[in-house]
Homo-oligomer: A and B are copies of this chain.
Amino acid sequence: MAETAEAKEHRDIAELSRAVEALIFVADEPISTKTLAEVLEEDREMIASVVEELASSYEERNGGLQVREIAGGWQISTRTECHEDVRKFLKTRPSAKLSLASLETLAVIAYKQPVTVPEILEIRGVQSASAIKTLLEKRLIITKGHKETVGRPMQYGTSKEFLIHFGLKDLSDLPSIEDFEDLISS
């Protein structure tokens, strides 16, 4: 009888540890022992010992992650030893991601090309200078010569990389409003 009870308790702690690990992992911010105890409906001391145990098991494992106490809560983070690799990766993250401002600017350029900065301003109603810089850096747009009007403003158009990124064969492959008309009206 005593053995069964003990076995049960052991299983419970393992289960608790699993839940604690999962909760620390999904939390946006360091999660306190108090919150953990509330969510798991467990004794706070019990949770405290489970977390300590979990943190030291990460320590023993000596992997790429650590469970650490910070700002009154617990958090999973990478180990400082890995910071160079992590930093390098974060810098090289897929450059195919765009901010909404860049996306808007890109949309205007894609559908109105060749188009100048004042024309983009006219359509978007906002300055697009930094978006254009980003798009040029990401090679999604290219310059298309000067427009022969007052001030000879530079014209922009989409690049080959643009076609590749959006999976288009050529510019005529760009969807038109008509392509989605049936979908949008429904």
Question: Which chain A residues have a beta carbon within 8 Å of chain B's beta carbons?
Answer: 14, 17-23, 25-27, 35, 38-40, 61-65, 76, 78-79, 81-82, 85-86, 88-90, 92-93, 117, 127, 129-130, 132-133, 136, 142-146, 154, 167-169, 172-173, 175, 179-180, 182-184, 186
13 extra interface residue pairs, beta carbon distance < 8 Å, beyond A22-B65, A39-B85: A18-B81, A18-B82, A19-B64, A19-B82, A21-B65, A23-B82, A23-B89, A25-B64, A25-B76, A130-B186, A136-B183, A143-B167, A145-B169
B142 near A63 (CB under 8 angstroms)?
Answer: no
Known contacts: A89-B26, A89-B39, A142-B167. The answer to whether A64 contacts B21 by CB under 8 A is yes
Residue from B19, B117, B184 within 8 A of A85 (CB atoms): B19
A167 near B144 (CB under 8 angstroms)?
Answer: yes
A183 near B133 (CB under 8 angstroms)?
Answer: yes
A143 near B175 (CB under 8 angstroms)?
Answer: yes
- Bound Cα distance A127, B93 (Å): 40
B179 near A63 (CB under 8 angstroms)?
Answer: no
- Bound Cα distance A142, B165 (Å): 12
Smallest CB-CB separation from A166: which chain B residue?
B143
Q: List 18 A-B contacts (CB under 8 A).
A: A18-B63, A18-B64, A20-B64, A21-B64, A22-B64, A22-B79, A23-B89, A26-B86, A26-B89, A39-B88, A40-B85, A127-B186, A130-B183, A145-B167, A145-B173, A146-B173, A146-B179, A154-B179
- Bound Cα distance A92, B105 (Å): 35
Residues of B close to A90: CB separation below 8 A: 26
Residues of B close to A179: CB separation below 8 A: 143, 146, 154
Give the most central of A92, A142, A179, A183: most B CB within 10 Å.
A183
